[in-house]
Amino acid sequence: MKADPWLRAHGLRKSFSGVTALAGFSCSLAPGEILGLVGPNGAGKTTFFDVVTGIVAPDAGSLVFGDVDLLRLSPHRRSRLGIARTFQEVRVIGGLTAVENVVLHFHGQKGERVTEAIAPRRRYLAQEASLVAKGMELLERLGLTHKSSAPARDLSYGEQKRLSLACCLATEATVILLDEPLAGLTPAVIETVTGVLQLLREEHSSVILVEHDFSAASRLCDRLLFMDAGAVVAEGTPEEVRSDPRVIEVYLGSSFDHARD
């Protein structure tokens, strides 16, 4: 039996100064599914991520996570509910080490509430040691153990991209939004990141990723949505979307035909 979707967007609309970013966009995401958003620049993919995480409020439409109306929640509460994302541009704290960046993203740390501020120091030290160990495990999964003590600013672009993903995983979110997670990575590193995403699927977390490399998205995703001008042009398995006449004729043309060879 197919699992019921736990993220559902319907009829989302958003315009910026008269320019339409989302034009009645709808989609759903099931537990353990990897969904790819593909399409040209300006199609509305990142705007959708901004709406899901609460950075941008839609002009119309609905957005539900489980039985919760996300549009009523602040970005902070959405994160607590189990939604996390990365960005096209790398966002790490350069002056902190790689493992410190990861540790910052764990929820439920002592000291987050005023009532916990008077707890004995040994409790903080014990939790800190535990979180550092968990952070190291995430860095190991992404091949960054050797960079754990290095300032984030000293990591290469590809390493910072992986660090951003580790920070995202530290939130233990059940819905993870990844904006071009494979861009700028070497083939070997892409295999590492792909393996991590496939493991998330096995753990029944769900992923929505924006990816301009159609071939990479096809290999990784269970289902693709091809977007343009804020709306869904084609939806289905990677092969179904590849074969859709609207995608081939209007958007991908000869370069797409070459990519299929």
* Domain encompassing residue 187: 7-260
Does residue 154 belong to any structural domain of this protein? yes
Q: What's the pLDDT at 251?
A: 60
- pLDDT by residue (tens digit) across 29-56? 999 999 999 988 888 999 999 999 999 9
CA 93 from centroid of its chain's CA atoms: 19
Give residues with Cβ within 8 angstroms of 199, minimum separation 6.
141
Q: What's the pLDDT at 204?
A: 82
**Cα–Cα dist 193/188, whole Å:** 9
Flag residues of the chain having pLDDT under 50.
Answer: 1-2, 114-115, 254-261
Does residue 114 belong to any structural domain of this protein? yes
Question: In CATH, what number is assigned to the domain containing residue 66?
Answer: 3.40.50.300
Q: What's the pLDDT at 125?
A: 64
- pLDDT by residue (tens digit) across 184-203? 888 888 888 888 988 888 88
Does residue 34 belong to any structural domain of this protein? yes
**Cα–Cα dist 5/35, whole Å:** 12
Does residue 198 belong to any structural domain of this protein? yes
Give residues with Cβ within 8 angstroms of 252, minimum separation 6.
214, 259
Q: What's the pLDDT at 111?
A: 54
Does residue 177 belong to any structural domain of this protein? yes
Instruction: Give me the number of domains the chain comprises.
Output: 1
Smallest CA-to-CA distance from 64 within 80, 81, 46 is with 81
**Cα–Cα dist 107/74, whole Å:** 16
Does residue 2 belong to any structural domain of this protein? no
Q: What's the pLDDT at 121?
A: 58
Q: What's the pLDDT at 5?
A: 59
Q: What's the pLDDT at 54?
A: 96
Does residue 239 belong to any structural domain of this protein? yes
Does residue 1 belong to any structural domain of this protein? no
Please name the residue that has the structure tokens 């393996």. Answer: 195
Residue 21: what residue type? A
In terms of phi and psi (left: phi > 0; alpha: psi -120 to 50; beta: otherwise), the region of 54 is left
- The whole model's pTM is what? 0.84
